Amino acid sequence: MFRKLIRHPRTQAAMARSLGAYLAFCYRTTRWSLVGQEHLAVFARRNEPMIIAFWHERLPMMPMLWTVTHRLHPETKDWQPHVLVSQHRDGRFIGEIVSRFRLAMLYGSTSRGGATALRSMLRVLREGSPVVITPDGPRGPRRKAAEGVAQLAALSSVVIVPTAAATLRHRLLPSWDRMMLPLPFTRGVLVCGPPIRVSRGDTALAVAAIETALDAACDAADGWVADPASQNSRPL
């Protein structure tokens, strides 16, 4: 009975609203810094599309990146970041949470029904807006990238910007990806790594480079919250 109740659409919608409000509260009460702003700025200033990638485990903190981007680069006010989420119930639940942060949803997968998702993402990029992907989502394996993100970069000739986030106070959830849930009243960091370009016919090799870059972004974020004074960052 309880399982049926929590899976009911109205219950899911209420839970999504509550969790979205909680994350918004965490964002407002956290002192954020930005590492690697130059990797984002070069495309934001020209209003060029990009593919933002991060591991699924950092998803609860990443909407803050768009708040920061719009604040630092008013010229991106017409950007409409689109997030690829699974058509599964869990993906739609995540979509309802993050949609309050000026993010549009693309429902699909880089594996199941990948062709439809790929066409949708190519259309968004052609229209000039960024696409946001978790290459190991929605169900893993953890920190193993699907080839779809490399294929998208090759077909669109758009760069992949590897990103991550971390907060000093957080909880690691007992999920397949060990998701990091932020807590309020703390310090946090957003990390943007050097852009990755993928040539056509080079997607298989590019996957390893993407995984390495995303791991490096997470390591940089975790290192920053452990010792902010040792990192080159911009307070926000």
**Count of residues for the chain?**
236
Beta bridge partners of 31: 187
Residue 233 has pLDDT above 80, yes or no: no
Predicted pLDDT at 113:
52
Query: What mean pLDDT comes out for the span 184-213?
Result: 94
- pTM for the predicted model, two decimal places: 0.90
pLDDT in tens, 100-145: 888 888 877 655 556 788 889 999 999 999 999 999 988 889 999 9
Residue 5 has pLDDT above 50, yes or no: no
pLDDT in tens, 160-189: 999 999 999 999 999 999 999 999 999 999
Asked if residues 196 and 213 have their Cβ atoms less than 8 Å apart, the reply is yes
